[in-house]
């Protein structure tokens, strides 16, 4: 894993967006994997800026989102489909039919999950996957205990995740208790992963993911097996990293070499 400790969230977002933008420039028909939540909002704003000010062309890309709340239709204001439309897709030139978010209301969710996996495979796999991390170490909605080989499926959320996500809903009781989520195994097949992390509440989970053992109790730790993962975090999120001096030194070396 390449760990970059940034001065602030703006730098986290700019550097992470740079990797996605470089991919789109190099491969106009790239397949991009997107996450929802607060963490990637700055990255999406930067992609929108690059589109509007520098003409970054998203017309040929295909996108797959990590997850969707079970039971929420794409039109629901709190659905991840609505989130993506509002925070990215409506502001760039990707044709909507090239964007994919798992269905939270499929009649046969098992079949829909298999079809989602098949579609990713048919498109040649994900070139760059954007990720956040939950305060319990989850990636997508792969909660502690999820198999590190898991595929897209229905998962039940932990009380911690329900609490964390209650801020997006009017009442805590409105937070769905399960979701359709890509699996850890699905995510590990992306060619490149870019994780954005911000805030002190993520510090313990991030340190465990990067420097702890690979364990299903912190599914982000599975990224230690991934050959091309970039982590961009701010100072607050990096607070518990033991090797922070080393990461900073590597960054200086990399900059000097380029």
Q: Give dist(CA 121, CA 98) in Å, integer.
A: 15
Closest approach, Cβ 198 to ligand F6R, in A, equals 8
Is 100 assigned a catalytic role?
Answer: no
DSSP assignment letter at 175: S
**Considering 46, 68, 136, 234, which one is annotated as catalytic?**
136
- 215 contacts ligand F6R (rule: CB under 6 A): no
| Listed residue (29, 144, 36) closest to 87, CA to CA | 36
- 229 contacts ligand F6R (rule: CB under 6 A): no
**Considering 117, 138, 164, 234, which one is annotated as catalytic?**
138
- 36 contacts ligand F6R (rule: CB under 6 A): yes
Nearer to ligand F6R, 16 or 133 (CB): 133
Q: What is the DSSP string of 4-43?
A: EEESSHHHHHHHHHHHHHHHHHH-TT-EEEE--SSTTHHH
Quick one: which of 17, 20, 24, 39 contacts ligand F6R (CB under 6 A)?
39
Instruction: Tell me the window of 32-40, 43-51, 88-96, 248-256 that interacts with ligand F6R (CB under 6 A).
Output: 32-40
Q: Locate 243 and state its tokens.
A: 């090797």
Q: Are 199 and 236 in contact (CB under 8 A)?
A: yes
Instruction: Tell me the window of 19-27, 69-77, 135-143, 170-178 that interacts with ligand F6R (CB under 6 A).
Output: 135-143
- 126 contacts ligand F6R (rule: CB under 6 A): no
DSSP assignment letter at 218: B
Closest approach, Cβ 71 to ligand F6R, in A, equals 16
- 56 contacts ligand F6R (rule: CB under 6 A): no
- 237 contacts ligand F6R (rule: CB under 6 A): no
- 134 contacts ligand F6R (rule: CB under 6 A): yes
Q: Locate 9 and state its tokens.
A: 């969230």
| Listed residue (1, 15, 21, 43) closest to 255, CA to CA | 15
| Listed residue (258, 10, 164, 68) closest to 18, CA to CA | 10
| Listed residue (77, 231, 15) closest to 139, CA to CA | 231
Is 138 assigned a catalytic role?
Answer: yes
* Binding-site ranges for ligand F6R (CB under 6 A): 35-39, 66-67, 132-134, 138-140
Residues assigned a catalytic role: 67, 136, 138, 143
């Amino acid at each position: 894993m390449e760990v970059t400790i940034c001065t602030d969230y703006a730098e986290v977002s700019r550097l992470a967006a740079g990797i996605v933008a470089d991919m789109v420039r190099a491969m106009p028909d790239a397949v991009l994997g997107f996450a929802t939540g607060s963490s990637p909002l700055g990255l999406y704003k930067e992609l929108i800026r690059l589109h509007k000010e520098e003409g970054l062309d998203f017309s040929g890309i295909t996108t797959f989102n990590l997850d969707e709340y079970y039971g929420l239709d794409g039109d629901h204001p709190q659905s991840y489909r609505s989130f993506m439309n509002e925070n990215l897709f409506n502001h760039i030139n990707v044709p909507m039919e090239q964007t994919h978010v798992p269905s939270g209301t499929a009649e046969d969710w098992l079949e829909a999950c298999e079809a989602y996996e098949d579609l990713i495979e048919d498109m040649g796999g994900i070139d760059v996957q954007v990720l956040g991390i939950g305060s319990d170490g989850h990636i997508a909605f792969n909660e502690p205990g999820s198999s590190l080989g898991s595929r897209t499926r229905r998962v039940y959320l932990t009380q911690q995740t329900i609490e964390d996500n209650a801020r997006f809903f009017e009442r805590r009781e409105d937070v769905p208790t399960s979701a359709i989520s890509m699996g850890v195994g699905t995510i590990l097949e992306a060619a490149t992963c870019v994780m954005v992390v911000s805030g002190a509440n993520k510090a313990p989970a991030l340190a465990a993911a990067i420097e702890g053992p690979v364990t299903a109790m912190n599914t982000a730790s599975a990224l230690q097996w991934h050959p091309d993962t970039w982590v961009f975090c701010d100072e607050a999120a990096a607070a518990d990293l033991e090797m922070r001096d080393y990461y900073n030194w590597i960054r200086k070396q990399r900059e000097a070499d380029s």
